[in-house]
Structures are given as structure tokens and as C-alpha cells.
Structure 1
Amino acid sequence: MSMPHAEPQARRDIALDWLLRLQQAPGDAALATEFQAWHDAEPDNAEAFRKAERLWRLTGQLQATTRQDWPAVPPAAEPEAQVIPLPTRSPQRRRHARRWLAGAIAACLVLGLGAGLRTPLEADYRTARGELKSIDLPDGSRLQLDGDSAIAVVFSSERRDVKLLRGQAFFEVAKDSARPFHVLADALDVQVTGTAFNVDLGSARSAVAVVHGSVRVADRDAGRELAAALTAGQTLAYGGDHQAQRGTLPVGQVAPWRNRQLIADNARFGDMVEQLKPYLPGTVLLRDAQLAEQRITGVYDLRNPEAALRGMAQPHGGRVESWSPYLLVISRGE
């Protein structure tokens, strides 16, 4: 369970998972000892757990509900006024948790652990979860921004830079040999003069996939070239291990999100959950490591991402529970 160098989103998920486990087994001394070791390992772990506790208080320990039980979200909820002490841990109390609280604190749930509102301040363009946006740039280039994504545009007389701050974007670049076009995504520098390609700033690895033309990919932090000419149907993924992984992909399967599709080809379930998160409100928590490693194949409709998530999980015995309108918990079915 311990992840000494977990990314912020992963650390938040781990903290919430610890809270759920402790609530379900309050008398388990071994579990408490294991939790304390994780909690004390890093200050960031303790801070993540404090935020998880706050979310738990705000939700009133709501158990899994069905959508028809959820009240309407009031338009002017005031999150800070809704903080409520933790209920007792008795199963009877939890079964009768106040479902009306979910609507009153919906905004708090997003602020507590969800990533959707944390838009970088430097962003010139951004999208909400599930939103797609087409953007025309001043040089005639065009891009499409996926859900929960953000970019900053920095053009000068010498070069054209677009910083991908979160999510992913598909670029159709207008040719201008005098001003190269750069997409900066974490350590990646993707340079083109005129082509069409997708860049995905993933949680673990950034990825580039080309539809036509060619791009040059480099690690700008290390000053190292990763691919001199990535061409149509070719892909490159690059992460914290500083290893570039080359691959191929049918051109028709590059950036299927533009057609509201998610394609899995013998993919890890855990990876596909990560790809679904920009289309789902609030927090998605995957609580089964073995389920995360299961392989899935299929084409899923992003217009109904929760149904897509259930469709991925069910063949492997996975169960998706709605703990509130803004918290989905995935575990093995009993």
C-alpha cells in the first residue's frame, strides 16, 4: 500500500482508500499499524489523509446509493457552512446516512479531492470534464482540446509554442518554416512545421501519436532527442523513467476521443480507468490491484462514461459503486 513517491492524484486516492478501509474495519489492529506506517512515512501522506477525512465529514459517510436517490444539487451551495461531525461507525447508522446531504455539499466533494477545478493559472484555454473544444490559433493552426484539459499559447516572431498543462489535445498545424511549432508537455518538446498529431499528458507517461506528416520529439530537460522523425501511425510514450517507448497505431485509432470513443486493445483496466477520469465528475477510486491488471478489449462510448466504466469492470467481476454523485468506488463484486 505504501507509495513513497506517489504523484499527488495517486496519493489522494491512496489516502481515501485508507480511510475507507479503516472505516470498514475499525478494530483491525494490524490494519491500523500498517496505516500508521504509511501516514508517518511522508508529510504529504499525512496532508492527503487530512483532506480525505474532511471529504468524509462532508459526505456524512454516505454509503453506496443509486442515482435516483440523489437529491438535486442546489445552485448556491456554500461548502464551508456544511461541515458536519463524523457520524458514529455503527453499521445501522451508516445504512441510514442522510442522503439529502449529498446535494447540499456537491461543490465540496469536487473541492475536496476532485481534480476538475484545479486549472493552472497560466492557461489560455481549458475544458471542463466531458467537454470538447475546438480552437483556432492566430497562425491558422487548429486544435481540439479533450475534457479536463488546459493549454497556454506563447507565440513570438521566431517560434510558436503551445504548452499542454493538463489532459490532451489534437493539433493540425499550419506550415510556417520560418517559425517552428512546438508543443511542450512536461519534459517533452514536440517540434513540427506542418502536420496533424495528438499529445497526451498522462498521469504516468506523456504520449505522442501522429496522423500525417512528421514530428521531432525531444526531452527538453535533458537536452536529448527521443525521435528525429515520428511519422504517420507511429507513437512515442515517455515517463519518469526517461525511457522512450516507440509503437505503431492505425491512423484511424489516433485520438478516438474526438469521436467520443475510447478504444482498448488488450489494455490494462487500470490504465483505461485513468483515461476515463476526464469524463467523470469528482473522484474515481480503484481499490483492487488485481483488477487493475486485468486486460480488456473493446470500444466504449464516452457520451456515457459511467456505463463505459461498468462495461469494462463487469467481465472481470468488478463492481462500480456510487458513494455519492462525486465519488465512484471500483472493487471486486462479492
Structure 2
Amino acid sequence: MMPADPVSSRRDQALDWLLRVQQAPHDTQLRAELAQWCARDVANAEAYGKAERIWRLTGQLAPATAEQWPQAMPATAVAMPAGRPTRRRRYWLGAAVAACLMIAVAPSLTLRLQADYRTVQGETRDVTLADGSVVQMDSDTAIAVDYHGSQRDVRLLSGQAFFKVTPDKSKPFHVRAAEVRVTVTGTAFNVELRPGRVDVDVEHGSVRVDDAKRALASALTAGQRLRYVDGRVQVRTFQPSQAAAWRQGQLIADETTVAELVEALGRYLPGKVVLRDQGLGEKRVTGVYDLHNPQAALSAVVRPHGGKVTTYGPWLVVLGRP
């Protein structure tokens, strides 16, 4: 298992505090414990401040309730001074909100600048390229296309896509995803890009997968799946008919961790999905889930292990165990 990102872990802790206070806004003991957590490390206070502001910007925090919640504070303080905000504090709050917006929006803007084609959450799209090759794009996916001379190059910037490549031995077709390059002349295959990981599934034909940085190479044929994680390669077999099951609105899990399934289903929901229980995330599940109803699919994934799905408006879904 990869080590947890300290920034992401702190952000999740802040969100957990936010949800607990939201559920019990008049619990003075809880607010005191939150203040102690914020005072323990200035980074904690900053993380909580960002979580609260993003929550408020999405419209989930009522103004009356917001006044009862702790603000971001220095490590030596327990609470912000009462009274009307000073000009300096108003400036700082405005800057913090602007920074939060930039953090939330920057990845989307970057994809917009780089991508030739993209889909949003819940949308799929078929794109026919200049040579007749077809790219079927899953939800929340972006690609950049570069046809020049004897090269046909497609970069998968996010998400996953299924490629039906028109044969042309004089012009190799390349799909690049992070450090991985898939080379074909004519075949059908799926490529999925996740943080720190690339999956390649071959439905028919054959492909070559390489990583120039580490000089690794693998040849795949129909019914083979390659997973590339941090320079390590794992190849296994599967039923070719199950390649890119998302095209039929299905998510197929075979001893897959709950955390992986939550991440995959999160691409079909408009807001953020938070998994609060690490132990729950490590549980493994086998089944077929309906991508047309991702909310119900999340419940079906966690319920066998005692998990519960809680929804806070349209922008936040939290999974955990009571």
C-alpha cells in the first residue's frame, strides 16, 4: 500500500471535524476538542479553515450556523477574537476564499487548456479521429490528439477511454498515459489513468506497453490486463467481453478494494466522495454495479461490510461505519 499523502490526510481530518460539528453545532465539548486540534498545529487550523470556506461556497453552510464554528487560527490561539472583522482579517478571508477556489478550479482549467476533447461527470462521448479510429470516452475524461507526419498520438490526461484503432502499419498509433505508452497498429483496448496508476485492457488484437524511463516493456494480447504502479508491472487475464464494461454502464469488481471502487464511482458523481474509514476501504468486494445509479452502487459496495452512505446536499457524499 502506498503511504498516505499527509496533506490529503490532514484535509480529510478537517472535513471529518467539519461534519461532526455540522451534525452537533451546539455541542460545546465537541467545539472545544476541535479548537484544541486546530491549536495543535497551524496546518490543522488552515486545513479546517479551507474546508469550512469551501463548504460555505457550495451553499451547504447556513450563515447562522457558520458563526458558531471555529475559524482558522494561529497555533498559539484557541479561538478567533469576537466582534466585527478588521480590514486585515477581511482581506485575509477574501484571499483564503480565492485560494480555495483556485485550488478547486485549477485542475479543471489545466485540462481545458490541454485537452482537445473532454467529458464531465456522468457524461460519455464517442470521438472519431481523422483516420477513422474511434475513442469512446468515459465520465470525467480528457484527451489530447496529435496527428503529424507518420505518427498518430493520443494523450490520456484523465479518466479512461476505449480505443478502436484503424489499422495502418505505416503510422503507429500511440496512447500515452502518464509515463506509460501503448503502441498498436490495429486493435481495441481500454486505458485507464488514476493517480500513480495506469491500467491497460485488451479486448482484441495486441498492443505493446512500455515505459521509456525505466526501459520496461510488455506485449499484451486479447484477454490480458496490465496494471502499472510506480514502475511495477502486473499482468493478469480476464474475459475479453468484460473490457471497458463501463460502456454498458457496469462496474465489475473482482476482489477489488472498497477504496478503489469508491474512487471509480466518484467519477460519476458531481461532488466529492469521502471515505472516512481506512479499514472499510481495505475490504475487498466482488460484484457488478450499476454506473447509471452511482449513489446506490456506493451503498451496495459498503453495506456488506457494515458501511453507511451519508449525503450532504448534491456536493458531498461521506462513507463510513457507524
- Band of TM-score, shorter chain: 0.7 to 0.9
Partner of 2:159: 167
| Number of residue pairs aligned between Structure 1 and Structure 2 | 284
Partner of 1:253: 242
Alignment of 1:17-96 (within 5 A): 17=16, 19-20=18-19, 25-28=30-33, 32=37, 36=41, 39=43, 46=46, 49-58=48-57, 62=61, 86-89=66-69
Query: For the structure 1 residues 304 and 124, does the alpha-carbon distance in structure 2 shift closer, same or farther, using more than 3 Å as the test?
Result: same
Q: Secondary structure at the match of 2:299?
A: helix
Partner of 1:315: 304
Alignment of 1:132-211 (within 5 A): 132-211=124-203
Q: 2:217 aligns with which of 215, 226, 246?
A: 226
Partner of 1:69: none
TM-score by length of 2: 0.78
Query: For the structure 1 residues 118 and 259, does the alpha-carbon distance in structure 2 shift closer, same or farther, using more than 3 Å as the test?
Result: farther
Which letter does structure 1 place at the counterpart of 2:68? T
Query: For the structure 1 residues 59 and 189, does the alpha-carbon distance in structure 2 shift closer, same or farther, using more than 3 Å as the test?
Result: closer
Contact 1:60 1:84 in 2 (8 A): no
Partner of 1:236: 226
Partner of 1:103: none
The Cα of 1:130 is off from its aligned counterpart by: 0.9
Q: Secondary structure at the match of 2:226?
A: strand
The Cα of 1:62 is off from its aligned counterpart by: 4.8
Partner of 1:325: 314
Q: Give distance in 2, aligned partners of 1:5 and 1:189.
A: 27
Larger RCO: 1 or 2 (CA < 8 Å, sep 6+): 1
What are the ranges of 5 or more consecutive residues in structure 2 without an aligned counterpart? 25-29, 71-99
Q: Give distance in 2, aligned partners of 1:150 and 1:128.
A: 9
Q: Give distance in 2, aligned partners of 1:149 and 1:170.
A: 11
What are the superposed Cα offsets for residues 150-184 of structure 1, whole Å, 9 maximum, x if unpaired? 00000011210000000000001111111110000
Query: For the structure 1 residues 193 and 185, does the alpha-carbon distance in structure 2 shift closer, same or farther, using more than 3 Å as the test?
Result: same
**Structure with the greater alpha carbon radius of gyration:** 2
Contact 2:17 2:34 in 1 (8 A): no
For the aligned residue pairs, the C-alpha RMSD in angstroms reads 3.2
Query: For the structure 1 residues 203 and 11, does the alpha-carbon distance in structure 2 shift closer, same or farther, using more than 3 Å as the test?
Result: farther
What are the ranges of 5 or more consecutive residues in structure 1 without an aligned counterpart? 64-82, 91-108
Q: Secondary structure at the match of 2:31?
A: coil
Query: For the structure 1 residues 193 and 20, does the alpha-carbon distance in structure 2 shift closer, same or farther, using more than 3 Å as the test?
Result: same
Contact 1:236 1:246 in 2 (8 A): yes
Partner of 2:73: none
Q: Secondary structure at the match of 2:228?
A: strand
Contact 1:22 1:31 in 2 (8 A): no
Of 314-323 and 179-188, deviating more is: 314-323
Matched, 1:303 2:303: no
Contact 1:52 1:112 in 2 (8 A): no
What are the superposed Cα offsets for residues 184-241 of structure 1, whole Å, 9 maximum, x if unpaired? 0000011111111000001231110101111111113x151331x111111111123x
Q: Equivalent pairs: percent with the same residue?
A: 48
Partner of 2:281: 292
Query: For the structure 1 residues 129 and 33, does the alpha-carbon distance in structure 2 shift closer, same or farther, using more than 3 Å as the test?
Result: closer
The Cα of 1:277 is off from its aligned counterpart by: 1.1
Contact 1:113 1:282 in 2 (8 A): no
Q: Secondary structure at the match of 2:189?
A: strand
What are the superposed Cα offsets for residues 66-89 of structure 1, whole Å, 9 maximum, x if unpaired? xxxxxxxxxxxxxxxxx8882315
Query: For the structure 1 residues 213 and 114, does the alpha-carbon distance in structure 2 shift closer, same or farther, using more than 3 Å as the test?
Result: same
Partner of 2:85: none
Which letter does structure 2 place at the counterpart of 1:129? Q
Partner of 2:78: none
Query: For the structure 1 residues 187 and 271, does the alpha-carbon distance in structure 2 shift closer, same or farther, using more than 3 Å as the test?
Result: same
Query: For the structure 1 residues 206 and 274, does the alpha-carbon distance in structure 2 shift closer, same or farther, using more than 3 Å as the test?
Result: same
Post-superposition, which runs of at least 4 consecutive aligned residues in structure 1 deviate over 2 A? 3-8, 10-31, 33-37, 48-51, 56-63, 83-87, 109-119
The Cα of 1:325 is off from its aligned counterpart by: 1.0
